[in-house]
Structure 1
């Protein structure tokens, strides 16, 4: 007969203790720090960057769209396309070009948001 303790002890947060889980946590903390600075420059409270789903909606607002459009991220192919559009619009709001935004805010978001947040770029709402 199976004991409940035996079943759950084998699944003791295995993902969180694995190497990939640790890297994912470090990655999330670093991106949250970068987004904190970006949100602050855009006039939003930086603490919103820590909250997983909320940060996406405020990033959409920084791009100049309604936060409701953040729901487009839930649609598989549309979400990818919309994330590129949001990255380009956020880059435009900080005075960066389309290619810079595509490569550093979409493909290498970790690096791009650090450059925007800790660099000299200033925010003006994209039109």
Structure 2
């Protein structure tokens, strides 16, 4: 009986893990799309990190720094804080993203957050006067 219970629990955890993975892929797909990057990049390992670094305005070679143990934790904190700022969210939301990414990334992807540039550059204005934000039609409908 306990073997069947263990198998059932394992299958249940597998379904929950699969559902969370699908949610995060869909949310990152939307985040990438809002930032004017290809959404399909969310499903390509390593390349999705390069695209995320591009979105937050960090150099691509930071991916090499992410291979350093313990240093990668610091870099992920910086990237998530910059991601929040890039979508005109505050530092508090960035801290929440670090600890509750399964909640905050879908908020960025499916919510009303708008990409304003790498780490909030431009103070929420388009890159050039009269130009739309990446992924936005101009004039707004």
User: What TM-score does the superposition give when structure 1 sets the normalisation length?
Assistant: 0.78
Residue 85 of structure 1 aligns to a residue whose secondary structure is helix
1:84 and 1:94 mapped to 2: Cα distance? 16
Aligned positions of 1:75-114 closer than 5 A? 75-103=68-96, 105-114=97-106
From 66, 76, 89, the counterpart of 1:73: 66
The CA deviation string for residues 72-118 of structure 1, in whole angstroms up to 9 with x for no partner, is 22111110010000000010010111111111x21111111111111
The Cα of 1:53 is off from its aligned counterpart by 2.1
Aligned positions of 1:23-42 closer than 5 A? 23-42=16-35
The Cα of 1:21 is off from its aligned counterpart by 4.1
Match of 1:61 in 2: 54
Q: Which runs of 5+ in 2 are unaligned?
A: 1-9, 122-141
Q: Which runs of 5+ in 1 are unaligned?
A: 1-16
Match of 1:117 in 2: 109
What is the RMSD of the two structures over their aligned residues, measured on CA atoms? 1.8
The Cα of 1:61 is off from its aligned counterpart by 1.2
More helix by share: 1
1:108 and 1:57 mapped to 2: Cα distance? 22
